[in-house]
Amino acid sequence: MKKFRKEQIEKEIQRVLGKAFLEDIKLEELKSGFVSITFVKLDNEGSYTDVYVSVLSKDPFNKSVMEAALKSKEKMLRKALSDNIPLRHTPVVRVHLDTGIEEGVRISNLIQSLNK
């Protein structure tokens, strides 16, 4: 698959899955907060797509429980892709919990504490 086409499909996957999380897919484990798709990576054959999801919540949550909840929605996400993106083969969705934002906040707090 050409690089330009792959990037366009990744952008469309991110848009469709973001809309699905906003409108259709509800997580019982996430009472107050929202899910944001931070990155989508499609493999070269278009068979698998890795979706990195960041969860922002006021309430603390267990990461392993949240990741299990997200993984349980993978079939629903693939169905959303097949309904909204006309591809010959709909890629298998693999969801990963992205902790990059949390790590950034933690490092920022460490730097601020060193400056004091």
pLDDT of 90 higher than 70: yes
Q: What is the DSSP letter of 38?
A: E
- Domains (range + CATH), the chain: 3-115 (3.30.300.20)
What does pLDDT average to over the chain? 87
For 36-87, what is each residue's pLDDT tens digit? 899 999 999 999 999 999 887 767 777 788 888 888 889 999 999 999 999 9
> pLDDT class for 21, splitting at 50, 70, 90?
confident
CB contact set of 96 (below 8 Å; sequence gap of 6+): 50, 51, 52, 53, 67
Q: What pLDDT, on the 0 to 100 scale, is given for residue 62?
A: 74
> pLDDT class for 16, splitting at 50, 70, 90?
very high
Residue bearing tokens 């083969």: 89
Closest listed residue to residue 71, CA positions, set 113, 25, 5, 6: 25
Residue bearing tokens 């709909």: 90
pTM of this prediction?
A: 0.81
CA angle 58–60–63, rounded 5-degree value: 125
